Amino acid sequence: MTRTRTFVLIGVVLALLIAGVGSYYASSSPDGLEATAEEQGFGDTARDSAAAGSPLADYQASGVDDERLSGGLAGVTGVLMVLVLAGGLTLVLRRRSTAEPADTTTGTH
């Protein structure tokens, strides 16, 4: 059990480091789809997504002026959100699997 917890803790720390520090070195160039759209001449027809006004839109944390810090905060926030959702789902499913149905056998042969 200790090995599993250590493994998970190391994984979480690495994910947070990659999201927070690794995003500092991420390219600011458009992704392949955007670059191809611009190259083919229809990039200006793109519309904003429904999430364009959200606090983490475009991989940036709103309200933070430093672009690299904003990207790092958005990455760390994303990792933490996934951990909370996955942890909550794990707890719900674990509780559900331990609630065994009542034994309906009579015990006689």
Tell me the C-alpha distance between 88 and 99, whole Å.
Answer: 17
The answer to whether 61 touches 77, Cβ cutoff 8 Å, is: yes
Residues of the chain predicted below pLDDT 70: 30, 99-109
At CB < 8 A and 24+ separation, what contacts does 3-10 make? none
The answer to whether 19 touches 75, Cβ cutoff 8 Å, is: yes
Query: What is the reported pLDDT for 106?
Result: 61
Query: What is the reported pLDDT for 108?
Result: 60
Residue with tokens 């940036």: 60
Query: What is the reported pLDDT for 47?
Result: 86
pTM of the model: 0.70
